[in-house]
Amino acid sequence: MNSSAEKASRKWANAFSSEVDTGSREENASKEDLSDPNRNGNASGVRFGRGRAAMVTAAMALIWLGMQADPAEARRPPRSPWDDLFGGPPPKLRGPVHHHSVVPLPKPRPAEAPAAEPEEPPAAEKQPPAGTAKPAEQAAPAAPAQSACRQALTAEIAIAPSIPDIHGAGGCGGEDLVRLEAIVLPDRRQVAVKPAAILRCKMATAIANWIRSDIAPLAQNLGSTISDLDNFDSFECRGRNRIVGAQLSEHGRANALDVRAFKLANGKQISLTDRSVPRDLRETVLHSVCARFSTVLGPGSDWYHEDHIHLDLMERRNNYRICQWNVYEPLPHVAPLLPAERPEEAPPREVAAKSEGKSNSARPEADKSDEEAEPEAPADTKPQPTKKRRQNRRL
């Protein structure tokens, strides 16, 4: 296409330049003939050439008008001389032209056809009968799948209903939370947690197993059964030791429980930090909690835990554990301030006073007899010389 276009452009340019050169030569020739008197004979020839050119021009004009007079040609758009430049055919339609046809109407319904059934109202206007379930769109969202810990913590182990997750500021709260209300012993008796503790499922499971496996047999050895667990503190969004700005405590993650005492069925209460409780009993509880929990803080750890025992399941590197609880010796017995009561077999006070007086009167006579029995020292006794000690003086 590019080579043909270049050839056509060169052809048109050469034709235009040749016509211009011919016209200029004829004009110059006519001027020379007019100026030269010897060329009068050639002037008539020039005039005849001009007339012939005018006739050719008029004939071309008539032909062009005749072409325009054809109605078919008149309807065609004017063509540019550049239309045949590339010699390509006119564009063709890619597909047949679709003419609008008349849509046929359906045939009338025959008379012997059965009657049409009445149309039912749309489904949106129908009212569901009473007592039916609501549509699926209005149904409550499905509960999330329970964790393995939640599935294992059944009603046979503890009364611990699930509660929604808590997401507080600074990482406070947690997921998979329960409200530990009571612990069910193997014999179906329940140990109430007072007040109910909000804990993570793993921490609640550890507390339940500790009470069922360690504390319940210990209470049986004391001749009773455990009935209550004194919950001093469980979930609380705070820093360690309630210090403002301190690191978040495990209580803030619902991963800790503070225990203060146990209550037995016979009404007796065992305080874990009471020094009047037998030391062997407190040491038994110490060994059991340190084997089950990763953090145990009690008396001796700091003065924040002098009246309760802190238990949690904090995860540390290399499974590091902390067990700080000093089991102190029982307090010494202090003598009473008032004197003891007089025994019944003691003699009356008057007889005791007379006997005491007689003993006192007998004592001087015995002293005198002892003095008389002693020999008198000789009068001519000379004092023995004493040695003088030299005193060293330091200058």
pLDDT (mean) for 285-304 = 94
- Tens of pLDDT along 8-18? 455 544 554 55
Query: Closest Cα to residue 159, out of 194, 183, 137?
Result: 183
Residues 293, 257: Cα–Cα separation, whole Å: 11
> What pLDDT shows up at residue 308?
94
Q: Is the pLDDT of residue 260 over 80?
A: yes
Residues 257, 254: Cα–Cα separation, whole Å: 8
Q: Are 219 and 226 in contact (CB under 8 A)?
A: yes
DSSP sequence for 12-47: HHHHHHHHHHHHHHHHHHHHHHHH-GGGHHHHHHHH
What residues does each domain of the chain span? Answer: 2-72, 148-324
User: In the chain, what's the furthest Cα-to-Cα distance?
Assistant: 215
Strands 177-184 and 158-159 come out as: antiparallel
> What pLDDT shows up at residue 241?
86
At 193 the three-state DSSP class reads: strand
Q: Is the pLDDT of residue 332 over 80?
A: no
pLDDT (mean) for 307-326 = 94
pLDDT band at 107 (very low <50, low <70, confident <90, very high): confident
At 85 the three-state DSSP class reads: coil
Residues 301, 188: Cα–Cα separation, whole Å: 37
> What pLDDT shows up at residue 382?
55
pLDDT band at 393 (very low <50, low <70, confident <90, very high): very low
pLDDT (mean) for 207-236 = 94
At 310 the three-state DSSP class reads: strand
pLDDT (mean) for 140-156 = 83
> What pLDDT shows up at residue 53?
73
pLDDT band at 320 (very low <50, low <70, confident <90, very high): very high
HEC secondary structure over 233-279: ECCCCCEHHHCCCCCECCCCCCCEEEEEEEEECCCCEEECCCCCCCH
pTM over 0.85: no
Stronger pLDDT, 360 or 275, i.e. the higher one: 275
Helix (H) or strand (E) holding 108: none
> What pLDDT shows up at residue 146?
86
Q: Are 197 and 163 in contact (CB under 8 A)?
A: no
For 5, 106, 186, 365, the CA distances from 2, given in Å and listed in that order, are 5, 60, 101, 167
Q: Is the pLDDT of residue 155 over 50?
A: yes
Cβ count within 10 A of residue 175: 13
Among 30-34, 122-126, 141-145, which stretch is predicted with the lowest mean pLDDT? 30-34
Q: What is the mean pLDDT of the chain?
A: 76
> What pLDDT shows up at residue 55?
80
Give strand pairing partners of 167: 173
Q: Is the pLDDT of residue 130 over 60?
A: no
DSSP state of 175: S
Residues 234, 259: Cα–Cα separation, whole Å: 9
Stronger pLDDT, 100 or 30, i.e. the higher one: 100
